[in-house]
C-alpha cells in the first residue's frame, strides 16, 4: 500500500500547498500534474513545488565538508525535511498552508520508512498540517500509470517493455522507462552516467506528464497523492 499521513484539517476560501518533491525530474512532473488535480494557481488554491535536492545542498553547504560527504542519503533527507518543517512552523509563511512531502520508496522497508517519515510532522511546535506520499518505487511509476501518455510522448517506445512493467513494483522503474524510450535502453544510458541520466529523467517527466490523465492514472501511489490534494483542496 502507498504511504499517507493526514493531520488536522483546515478549511478556508483557499489552501496554499507547499509540495516538497525528491528531485528535479519529480518537480518537472508535478508542475504539469498538480494543476490537473487542483486547478491553476490562484483558482482558488495556491501551490509551490520545491526540489528537496536544492534544500539538501543548502543545508550541506553549512556543514563540515567531510561530514557532508559521508552522511548517508536517508540521514541527509530526514535532516533536510526536519529543518524545512521547523522553518515553516516558526514563520507560518502562508495562510491555510498544507505541506505535502513526496519521496521515492526505492528499496527501503515500507513500514519502517513510513514510521520515520510520520515523526517529522510531530517535531515542530506548533504542529503542521500536511501529508506524506511515496512513489512506489520511483517517480517514473507515476508516468507508467498512464501508458497512453507515454505512447503519445514517445510514439516509437517499445510496446513489449511497456506491457511487461508491473505497476508500482520494485523493479528498477526508471531503467524500465529507459528501456522503453531511450535509444540503447538503460544499459546505454547508465554507461553515460550522471548528469546525463538526470537530464534524461527530466526530459521524460516533461514530455510525458503533459499527457497524463490524472483521473485514469493506474498507479496506486499516484492515486494516494491525487486523493490527498483533492481532500485538502476540497475539489
pLDDT in tens, 61-111: 776 676 667 677 788 899 999 999 999 999 888 888 999 999 999 989 878
Joined grid coordinates for residue 7? 493531520
Tell me the H-state helices in the chain.
Answer: 24-38, 52-61, 65-70, 73-91, 110-120, 140-144, 147-153, 159-164, 173-181, 185-192, 196-209, 220-233
- Say if 216 falls within a structural domain: yes
Please tell me the distance from the alpha carbon of residue 190 to that of residue 180, in angstroms, as a whole number: 14
Q: Are 222 and 171 in contact (CB under 8 A)?
A: no
Q: What's the whole-model pTM score? A: 0.90
- Number of structural domains (the chain) is 1
- Say if 5 falls within a structural domain: no
Q: State the pLDDT at residue 12.
A: 53
Is the pLDDT at 175 greater than 60, yes or no?
Answer: yes
Q: 29 lies in which domain range?
A: 16-233
Between vectors from CA 171 to CA 137 and to CA 75, what angle results, nearest 5°?
Answer: 45
- Say if 11 falls within a structural domain: no
- Say if 8 falls within a structural domain: no
- Say if 148 falls within a structural domain: yes
Amino acid at each position: 500500500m502507498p504511504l499517507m499521513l493526514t493531520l488536522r484539517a483546515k478549511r478556508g476560501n483557499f489552501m496554499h500547498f507547499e509540495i516538497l518533491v525528491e528531485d528535479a525530474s519529480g518537480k518537472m512532473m508535478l508542475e504539469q500534474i498538480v494543476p490537473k488535480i487542483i486547478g491553476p494557481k490562484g483558482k482558488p488554491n495556491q501551490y509551490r513545488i520545491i526540489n528537496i535536492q536544492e534544500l539538501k545542498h543548502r543545508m550541506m553547504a553549512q556543514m563540515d565538508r567531510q561530514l557532508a560527504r559521508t552522511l548517508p542519503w536517508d540521514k541527509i533527507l530526514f535532516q533536510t525535511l526536519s529543518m524545512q518543517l521547523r522553518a515553516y512552523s516558526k514563520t507560518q509563511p502562508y495562510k491555510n498552508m498544507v505541506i505535502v512531502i513526496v519521496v521515492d520508496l526505492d528499496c527501503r522497508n515500507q513500514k519502517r520508512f513510513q514510521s520515520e517519515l510520520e515523526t517529522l510532522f510531530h517535531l515542530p511546535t506548533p504542529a503542521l498540517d500536511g501529508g506524506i506520499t511515496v512513489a512506489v518505487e520511483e517517480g517514473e511509476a507515476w508516468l507508467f500509470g498512464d501508458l497512453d501518455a507515454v505512447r503519445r510522448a514517445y510514439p516509437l517506445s517499445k510496446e513489449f517493455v511497456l506491457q511487461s512493467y508491473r505497476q508500482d513494483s520494485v523493479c528498477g522503474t526508471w531503467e524500465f522507462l529507459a528501456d522503453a524510450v531511450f535509444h540503447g535502453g538503460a544499459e546505454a544510458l547508465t554507461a553515460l552516467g550522471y548528469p546525463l541520466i538526470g537530464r534524461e529523467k527530466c526530459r521524460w517527466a516533461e514530455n510525458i506528464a503533459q499527457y497524463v490523465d490524472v483521473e485514469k492514472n493506474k498507479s496506486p501511489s499516484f492515486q494516494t497523492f491525487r486523493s490527498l490534494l483533492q481532500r485538502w483542496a476540497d475539489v
